[in-house]
Amino acid sequence: MNQTLASTIAAICRERDERFKDSLPLIHQLLAEYGEHDLANRLFMEIPRDVPFEVVADLFDLILHSGNENCSEAIARSIRSWLRQGGDTRRMSIALRTAEKQGSVEGPIRPGRHHRLSNVRRLFKALGLSVILMGLSSSLIGAQPRPTAQPRPTAQQQSFLQKLSAAAIERTHHQVRYDPGYQAIAYPGGDVPPEAGVCTDEVIRAYRALGIDLQKEVHEDMAANFSAYPSKTIWRLEHPDSNIDHRRVPNLMVFFHRKGEVLPITNRAAEYQPGDLVTWNLGHGLTHIGMVVDQRAELTGRPMIVHNIGEGPKMEDVLFDWKITGHYRYFGPEKPGEAAPPGRRTP
């Protein structure tokens, strides 16, 4: 993926206030490099399919609001064509989301959001569509069992969780470029280059420091129980892919539901212990994962989270910054003859 495009995607993922102050300069740079010719289709083909469709729609929306009338109208024409042609589900989802954003509440003011958009809006209005967005992030993962109250970890488990917390904190000393692109990697024990990665890679690397290979564990469970995972529904895959499956938050959520302990989601910070895994909905269909560690924020007293949301692995006070969608504890694969700990779901 083009470096400017990758940087733009990462900036859009990072900016949650919808004002996109860092993304807009990158949009202008992107348009200068790509030009208007067949812009939407070229971007669609180049952006990896594991980038959520909502992020691509945000990219298109920013182009529409960029003040570059030629590029804006090129995007609008392609969206109109996609909606009329139908076909590829991902392309249709991007088109519907982009059209909905043009026909909904104006939202924060961005540069170029004035008379230049009149022709663009007419293109969408001519479609006569009533657009309904689907809550893919939650519905595609499927209904999951409710968690029950969990017993305190054993001394051995507590020692494991402390080591896991330390491994996560150690990751914050590494320089990592946020790169959501698909890469072919070895199996088992495969990893993307150490200077690259996303939120899931920090969880994977922390576990790998303790000898647990989430790539292998997720792949084996998906190979045996593929229909339990959302890969076909979200990414239209027909079989497991050990290069990417374990690097996707929705897959990890299903895996931890199946193989780990499912813990209560509460607004009480004390319920979140070092080594626990937390997933969030960032909005616009974006999901995120991080790990609770044994350090506390000075001002709030809340447990800190190690995560990578676009600027490499960081330890921050963000536990309640977004809507929590999952709270898990995972001690690794069961050993032969070992009983599942209380709270572990039986597939």
pLDDT at 279: 97
Q: Tell me 342's DSSP state.
A: T
Distance from C-alpha of 5 to C-alpha of 41, rounded to nearest angstrom: 14
Give the highest mean pLDDT range of 33-42, 89-98, 209-218: 209-218
- Contact yes or no for 275/237 (Cβ under 8 A): no
Q: Tokens 């193989």 identify what position?
A: 259
| Joined tokens for residue 19 | 């004002």
pLDDT at 339 over 70: no
pLDDT at 129: 40
| Joined tokens for residue 268 | 């009480």
- Can you say how many angstroms the Cα of residue 110 is from the centroid of all Cα atoms in its chain? 25
Q: How confident is the model at residue 328 (pLDDT cuts 50, 70, 90)?
A: very high
pLDDT at 133 over 70: no
Least confident of 14-23, 137-146, 325-334: 137-146
Q: Read off the pLDDT of each residue in 138-146 and give the average, rounded to a whole number.
A: 47
pLDDT at 280: 95
| Joined tokens for residue 183 | 């890469």
Q: Read off the pLDDT of each residue in 85-99 and give the average, rounded to a whole number.
A: 72
User: Mean pLDDT of all residues in the chain?
Assistant: 82
- Contact yes or no for 289/307 (Cβ under 8 A): yes
- Contact yes or no for 249/287 (Cβ under 8 A): yes
Q: Tokens 């920090």 identify what position?
A: 202
pLDDT at 11: 86
DSSP 3-state assignment of 288?
Answer: strand
Cβ–Cβ contacts within 10 Å for residue 215, how many? 23
DSSP characters over 24-41: HHHHHHHHHHH-STTHHH
pLDDT at 263: 96
Q: How confident is the model at residue 23 (pLDDT cuts 50, 70, 90)?
A: confident
Locate all alpha helices (DSSP H) within the chain, ordered by sequence: 3-14, 23-34, 39-46, 53-64, 69-85, 89-103, 118-125, 136-139, 155-171, 199-209, 214-224, 231-235, 249-259
Q: Rounded to 5 degrees, what angle do the CA atoms 292, 293, 295 make? A: 130
pLDDT in tens, 233-274: 888 899 999 999 999 999 999 999 999 999 999 999 999 999
pLDDT at 240: 97
| Joined tokens for residue 180 | 């959501």
Give the highest mean pLDDT range of 98-112, 299-313, 329-343: 299-313
Spatial CA neighbour of 17 closest among 79, 92, 107: 107
pLDDT at 123: 47
- Contact yes or no for 159/169 (Cβ under 8 A): no
pLDDT in tens, 192-233: 999 999 999 999 999 999 999 999 999 999 999 999 999 988
Q: Read off the pLDDT of each residue in 19-36 and give the average, rounded to a whole number.
A: 85
pLDDT at 297: 93
Least confident of 222-226, 288-292, 295-299: 295-299
Backbone torsions φ then ψ of 206, nearest 5 degrees: -65, -45
**Length of the chain in terms of residues written:** 347
Least confident of 33-37, 98-102, 117-121: 117-121
pLDDT at 242: 97
Spatial CA neighbour of 78 closest among 29, 110, 34: 34
Q: Tell me 134's DSSP state.
A: -
% of the chain residues with pLDDT over 90: 49
Distance from C-alpha of 111 to C-alpha of 131, rounded to nearest angstrom: 25
- Contact yes or no for 268/276 (Cβ under 8 A): no
